[in-house]
Amino acid sequence: MNTQDVSNDLTVIHSNGMEKRLPKCIIIGVRKCGTRALLEFLNIHPSVQKASDEVHFFDEDSKYGLGLEWYRNQMPYSSPEEVTIEKSPAYFITESVPQRIYTMNASTKLIIIVRDPVTRLISDYAQLAANKAKKDRRMASFEDLILLNGGKINTSYKAVRISIYAIFYSRWTQVFPKSQVHVVDGDRLVYDPFPEVQKVEQFLGLSHRISRENFSYNSTKGFFCVRLNGTSDKCLNESKGRRHPQIDPQVIQTLRRFYASHNRLFYRLVGKDFGWPEF
Ligand SMILES: Nc1ncnc2c1ncn2[C@@H]1O[C@H](COP(=O)(O)OS(=O)(=O)O)[C@@H](OP(=O)(O)O)[C@H]1O
């Protein structure tokens, strides 16, 4: 059994060098783009340690006020060579967060995962509707929320704005060099996760230890799940991979036209064309 040296109320250092450490990498968003799947996939790597829950340290002032030692204490034990990762998708859109993370550690590596903005918006709606349904409340229709009376897109609706990735991405690259920000294609992560995960291993400076065999397509779930030691599959829970509501194709077209110019700007900023449909 490990002996423990309780050096203060919060930090426990094990004799084998295991310690709770601040994250070297943070998945900062985007909400409903596959942040949980990405974290679970990266956690296959023997040198990755993940914080199990979303910590929300940098976006919630009451938590931020508790200080860095509190934050460190939310992290898993790790050795100095390992990479601790946490994910909190609200970081991406919260204005104060880039500077707060930079102040903690200017060399923190950041990962953003994005997917087709229209699919993300529908996924966000499906989640909000599911949360309301749990409280026996009904959600307004998708169309009523995202369209104004004249048929224009309601840009003050938060879920619509979150899908304008370029606005938020620019805030991050005003604080962090682009070399420290890696963007994952969340649509590809769904249908072929291995190459996307390999790119992240490289970005994190890790040896390639995750293999194609670690992903197995589960036809009941309809998604790839994690396979370890060639045995049983670990899939994400039922809140990931929800059935999406049917949306009028005309509304989808209006949304695609709305996002097209924002998407092109995002492609230019990132230096990569994600090929999201424009009509
Ligand atoms: N392998 C695998 N299994 C299940 N789900 C997967 C997977 N890969 C990506 N996704 C997509 O992840 C979407 C949820 O995204 P997030 O985890 O970022 O959601 S959250 O913001 O943390 O609530 C979720 O969105 P919905 O399909 O709308 O539920 C999935 O499409």
Decide: 242 in ligand 1 pocket, CB within 6 A: yes
Question: Which domains, and CATH codes, for the chain?
Answer: 11-270 (3.40.50.300)
The residue length of the chain stands at 279
| Alpha helical stretches, state H, the chain | 35-42, 61-64, 68-73, 97-104, 117-134, 142-146, 158-162, 165-175, 186-191, 193-203, 249-270
Q: Which of 116, 188, 240 to mutate to test the pocket of ligand 1 (most atoms within 8 A of CB)?
A: 240
Could you list the active site residues?
32
pLDDT in tens, the chain (279 residues): 343 444 444 455 665 779 999 999 999 999 999 999 999 999 999 999 999 999 999 999 999 999 999 999 999 999 999 999 999 999 999 999 999 999 999 999 999 999 999 999 999 999 999 999 999 999 999 999 999 999 999 999 999 999 999 999 999 999 999 999 999 999 999 999 999 999 999 999 999 999 999 999 999 999 999 999 877 899 999 999 999 999 999 999 999 999 999 999 999 999 999 999 998
214 lines ligand 1 (CB under 6 A): no
Q: Which residues pair with 109 in a beta bridge?
A: 25
Pocket test residue of 27, 36, 210 for ligand 1, highest count of atoms within 8 A of CB: 36
The ipTM estimated for the assembled molecules is 0.99
| 241 ligand 1 Cβ < 6 A | yes
Closest-CA residue, ligand 1 atom 28, reads 123
- Of all atoms in ligand 1, which is nearest to the CA of residue 31? 21
pLDDT of residue 229: 85
pLDDT of residue 231: 79
How far apart, in Å, are the Cα atoms of 157 and each of 131, 144, 164? 18, 11, 12
